[in-house]
């Protein structure tokens, strides 16, 4: 399975985690999406990452990829399937995945990664350059509000979407992980969110994410520590 991705886009990390949880062997290809390479635009006009390609077809975007992974590989997890069976539990997983893939991405992870990683890699003529401190301040304030929300869920439920470990935990952890790389995760804001993230970070599927390095931006000192 070829995975076209960017290591610091949270929706790509979510799908890498989901594939790893299903033991799918992947061939990761980094796509510099801001370049809009014509060969890539031709198959993916929205330049949406991740994109899965397995020789028979393509699956574009984290939401479609989650459903594809569950439909194709979900049965291999038997009693620990990442999409629950109950219709309303499924809806809750999908609501939370959407929350992280879109809302958290727009309000927190996307701006922080764009300002601190992507703009450093991007040439100035494509919009690269120094981070916008106003965008960073807004994203940091949002990060605290989101940490409180996730902390509330983590305190009330066994896992974020309910009693069962699901795709929602992977989507949320993927989002927190890129913010944590940058040292911007407000772990002090909520003890429940930190305890929940610690469980996620210890999973074998998480290891490759903890080895990711941005070319010009080193990870926060505690990034790969399971005890942070």
Q: Closer to a copy of itself by CB, 57 or 204: give it.
A: 57
**Binding segment (CB under 8 A) for a copy of itself, from list 66-74, 155-163, 171-179, 185-193:** 66-74
For CA atoms 69, 70, 73, 79, the dihedral sign is: positive
**Binding segment (CB under 8 A) for a copy of itself, from list 82-90, 176-184, 188-196, 220-228:** 82-90
Residue 38 within binding range of a copy of itself, rule CB under 8 A: no
Shortest gap between Cβ of 84 and a copy of itself (angstroms)?
Answer: 12
Map residues 131-160 to x or -, x wherever contact with a copy of itself holds by CB under 8 A. ------------------x-----------
Rounded alpha-carbon distances, angstroms, from residue 140 to 22, 72, 111, 216: 33, 38, 10, 21
Alpha helices (runs of H) in 44-132, residue ranges in sequence order: 62-73, 87-98, 110-113, 119-121
Instruction: Kindly write down the DSSP assignment for every residue of 132-161, as one continuous string.
Output: -HHHHHHHHHHHHHHHHHHHHHHHHSSBTT
Q: Cα 21–163–26 angle (5° rounding)?
A: 10
Which pair of structure tokens corresponds to residue 228?
């942070």
Residue 103 within binding range of a copy of itself, rule CB under 8 A: yes
Q: Which of 13, 22, 94, 194 touches a copy of itself by CB under 8 A?
A: 94
**Binding segment (CB under 8 A) for a copy of itself, from list 64-72, 158-166, 183-191, 211-219:** 64-72
Shortest gap between Cβ of 112 and a copy of itself (angstroms)?
Answer: 19
Residue 102 within binding range of a copy of itself, rule CB under 8 A: yes
Residue 2 within binding range of a copy of itself, rule CB under 8 A: no
- Name the residue among 18, 188, 182 with its Cα closest to residue 110: 182
The position carrying tokens 């993916």 is 44
In a 3-state reduction of DSSP, which class is residue 129? coil
Q: What whole-number distance in Å separates Cα of residue 61 and Cα of residue 139?
A: 23
Residue 88 within binding range of a copy of itself, rule CB under 8 A: yes
111: left (phi over 0), alpha (psi -120 to 50) or beta: alpha
Residue 41 within binding range of a copy of itself, rule CB under 8 A: no
Q: Which of 1, 34, 61, 135 touches a copy of itself by CB under 8 A?
A: 61
Binding site for a copy of itself (CB under 8 A): 45-46, 48, 56-61, 63-65, 67-68, 71-72, 87-88, 90-91, 94-95, 98-99, 102-103, 149
């Amino acid at each position: 399975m070829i995975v076209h991705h960017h290591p610091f886009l949270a929706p790509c990390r979510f799908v890498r985690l989901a594939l790893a949880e299903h033991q799918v062997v992947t061939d990761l290809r980094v796509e510099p999406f801001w370049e809009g390479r014509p060969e890539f635009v031709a198959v993916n006009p929205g330049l949406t990452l991740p994109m899965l390609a397995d020789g028979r077809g393509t699956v574009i975007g984290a939401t479609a990829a989650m459903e594809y992974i569950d439909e194709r590989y979900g049965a291999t997890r038997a009693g620990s399937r990442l999409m629950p069976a109950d219709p309303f539990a499924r809806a809750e997983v999908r609501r939370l995945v959407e929350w992280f893939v879109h809302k958290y991405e727009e309000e927190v992870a996307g701006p922080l990664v764009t300002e601190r990683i992507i703009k450093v890699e991007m040439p100035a003529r494509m919009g690269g350059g120094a981070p916008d401190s106003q965008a960073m301040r807004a994203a940091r304030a949002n990060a605290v509000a989101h940490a409180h929300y996730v902390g509330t869920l983590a305190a009330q439920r066994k896992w974020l979407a309910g009693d069962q470990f699901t795709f929602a935990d992977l989507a949320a952890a993927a989002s927190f992980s890129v913010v944590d790389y940058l040292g911007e995760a407000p772990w002090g804001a909520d003890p429940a969110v930190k305890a929940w993230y610690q469980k996620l970070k210890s999973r074998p599927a998480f290891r490759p994410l903890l080895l990711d390095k941005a070319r010009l931006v080193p990870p926060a000192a505690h990034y790969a520590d399971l005890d942070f």
